[in-house]
Chains A and B, each alone.
Chain A
Amino acid sequence: MEKIIDIQSDKKEKFLAPFDNQQFPVLGAMSTLRRSEARAALDSIPLPHSRQETWKYTRTGKLINAVWNISHKANEVAIDDMKISGLDCYHLVFVNGHYSPTLSDNLTLETGLEVCPMSQCDGDKAAFADRLIQKNENSNAHLFNHFNSAYWTDGLLIKVDANTEIGKPIHIIHKTVGTNSASVFRHVLVAEKSSKVKVIQSFSNGGGSTYNNVLTEAWVAENAQVTIDKIQAENAEGITIAREDVRQESNSTFHINTITASGGFVRNDLAIVVDGENCMTNLYAAYAPQGKELVDNHTVVDHKKAHCESNEAYKGIVYDQATGVFNGKVFVRQDAQKTNAFQQNANILMSDSATMNSKPELEIYADDVKCSHGSTTGQFDEEAVFYLKARGISDKNARQMLVQAFVGDVLDELDDEVRAHVGSLLRF
């Protein structure tokens, strides 16, 4: 047994070594402390293995056993294909984990909106970000989330002033290129009281294998409305670990659409704490892994207060020998009376070798709530295919039409331009 532990910790040391000798942005005293605390957590948390519930179906060997290069410099990187055609938005671009001023818009975007790369935050901004990062200590963070806290190199601080509605979406473009290239991002999004903002995060990679670790902390204050569209379109060599930590205050709305068009290994953790009354929380996702890709979505919605509603719809189409994982947990705490919580996970397996693991979970401690959850995984409706073919539609087009219809209600949540962009990324 001792020997096994030795091998494991040896593996972990090898994985972490390239990251340990880096220079990281310092926001303030707390951020330095937090990094060392996170580093200590990395020492004490074992590597993920299949006996752990949260990693049961997701093998992390490809990530752990590689030697990552965190300081890969990239000069000319094409990101135009990541922009959303026809969408009037602000562009903020990160290449290999670092903010790119030349590819991004000017940082003075509009009144009431503060946007600053974390690597450039100083003075009040640094102290502000520092305080938020410190505050948001999450109990169910896993090894790679602590990894993020220890080693993030850049990200965005986005602060929307009270009573401000941001006119255009803020599009954060994450591009990672090179071989064994790693990018570690920390974003902090603060929507003050009665503000409204929409953020689009898109991810793409090029070259050899890449590792993206992104953690977004969102603070949705009273009566604020925050929407995040997360568009993941990496190649088969891409590894993504993404997490959103969200805290909602009363009367607020948080809406996230997670579209995983492609990517060799994608693990998304979504942790939403609904800590105020009359909140609305919407989580929608569509994923379509092909080849040997893996998409793992873990979500937690924690209803702490009364009179809130959450809607969750995750829809997957799993092709070839690809794997999908869904684990959705909804807590309804004792004080969260009159909660309406709906959760649905539906999947279509497109081949005999495709795998889907789905686990919807509800934990209810209040006695006057309306909650439902459901999970379906099935094969293509061949009767529907035949019906369409009998009208003159080719087999390929019939299947494409049905797949699009299946994820249609998720894609309907997107704005037209984003939907069209996503449509071109999904390989139906």
Chain B
Amino acid sequence: MKLKINNLHAQIEDNEILKGLNLEIGPGEVHAIMGPNGSGKSTLASVLAGNDAFEVTEGSVDFDGKDLLEMDADVRAKEGLFLAFQYPVEIPGVSNINFLRAAISEIREYHGQDAVSAKDFLAMVKEKSALVELDGKLANRSVNEGFSGGEKKRNEIFQMAMLDPKLAVLDETDSGLDIDALRIVANGVNAMKDGKRSFIVITHYQRLLDYIVPDFVHVLHNGKIIKTGDKTLALELEEKGYDWLKEEVV
């Protein structure tokens, strides 16, 4: 998997949020994106996943040789991009399992593969829900309905494990999690590292990066990446905050 973001500009309702963002991600790499509130972190995640609410005005995103921005959101998922939502949506009446089954069927069909059997599917559900210690009962409930904050986030990672993406974008998956839930989520992510799958981990806090160790740490400010370093940069940010960087840029 290779992702190349070049000079990406995006806006929502005439309000430009991404202002020329550049980022390259290679196979098996874990990139952390940090930055203060309003810097554009979640916008980046939404734009990559294909949320129509955001308009890309300039720039390009190359995803394994294909133009990502030309694809509809579902096609991006079919091509192997996964977004773990910061705020997973509750969908009453749609069962977690049925919707995942439908998603996997569509993805397999897209790749010309046979449908997965009910038996294999259920075995997979069992295995992957164990990975994030998600109660089997939750898998049968309506999507995220009545889930606690931690359960929602674990459900995101469970879905990621089920869909087996090439690139996973985790949008503030750690927010609102206590330390136990954080550990469970991180273990789930780490179990999916295979040297090929890549991750973009968006977070406010260095805490998560103790568990999911990044290869690169980027600081996003005012719609651009203003600094890139290794995991020690996250520690430095934790200690000093973002202001010194902002001043450096100015």
- Using a CB–CB cutoff of 8 Å, the interface residues on chain A facing chain B are 381-384, 386-395, 397-398, 401-402, 404-406, 408-409
Contact = CB atoms under 8 A, between A and B. Distances in A.
Contacts of B76: 390
Contacts of B77: 389-392
Contacts of A402: 91, 94
A408 B51 CA distance: 27
A393 B102 contact: yes
B49 A391 contact: no
Given A391-B99, A393-B102, A405-B94, 20 more contacts: A381-B89, A381-B91, A382-B53, A386-B73, A389-B72, A389-B77, A390-B82, A391-B77, A391-B100, A392-B110, A393-B74, A393-B103, A394-B106, A395-B72, A397-B102, A398-B74, A401-B94, A401-B102, A408-B93, A409-B93
A248 B61 CA distance: 66
B83 A388 contact: no
Given A384-B89, A405-B91, A408-B93, A390 B83 contact: yes
A143 B72 CA distance: 52
Contacts of A388: 91, 94, 99, 103
Contacts of A404: 93
Contact of B50 (A384, A390, A406, A408): A390
Contact of A392 (B51, B91, B106, B142): B106
B107 A392 contact: yes
Contact of B93 (A392, A395, A397, A405): A405
B99 A406 contact: no
A391 B93 contact: no
Nearest to B79: A392
A412 to B, nearest CB: 9
Interface core residue of B77, B85, B93, B159 (most chain A CB under 10 Å)? B93
B99 A393 contact: yes
B181 interface: no
B163 A387 contact: no
A333 to B, nearest CB: 35
Contact of B88 (A381, A387, A389, A406): A387
Interface size, B (range):
20 to 34
Contacts of A383: 89
Contact of A390 (B73, B92, B94, B100): B73
B78 interface: yes
Contacts of B91: 381, 384, 387-388, 402, 405
A395 to B, nearest CB: 7
Contacts of B78: 392
**Majority DSSP secondary structure for residues of A touching B:** helix
A391 B102 CA distance: 9
Contact of B163 (A382, A391, A394, A405): A391
Contacts of B93: 404-406, 408-409
Nearest to B159: A391
B52 interface: yes
21 contacts: A381-B89, A386-B51, A388-B91, A388-B99, A389-B50, A389-B77, A390-B49, A390-B77, A390-B85, A391-B74, A391-B77, A391-B103, A391-B163, A392-B163, A393-B74, A394-B74, A395-B72, A395-B74, A397-B102, A397-B106, A409-B93
A67 B106 CA distance: 51
B106 to A, nearest CB: 5
Contacts of B92: 405
A196 B94 CA distance: 33
Given A402-B94, A405-B94, A406-B93, A389 B73 contact: yes
Interface core residue of A381, A398, A406 (most chain B CB under 10 Å)? A398
Nearest to A396: B74
B88 A392 contact: no
A197 B187 CA distance: 57
A300 B106 CA distance: 45
Contacts of A398: 74
A393 B106 contact: yes
A405 B102 CA distance: 14
Contacts of A406: 93
Interface string B144-168: 0000000000000001000100000
B61 to A, nearest CB: 16
Interface core residue of B73, B77, B88, B89 (most chain A CB under 10 Å)? B73
A392 B103 contact: yes
Nearest to B110: A392
A298 B198 CA distance: 57
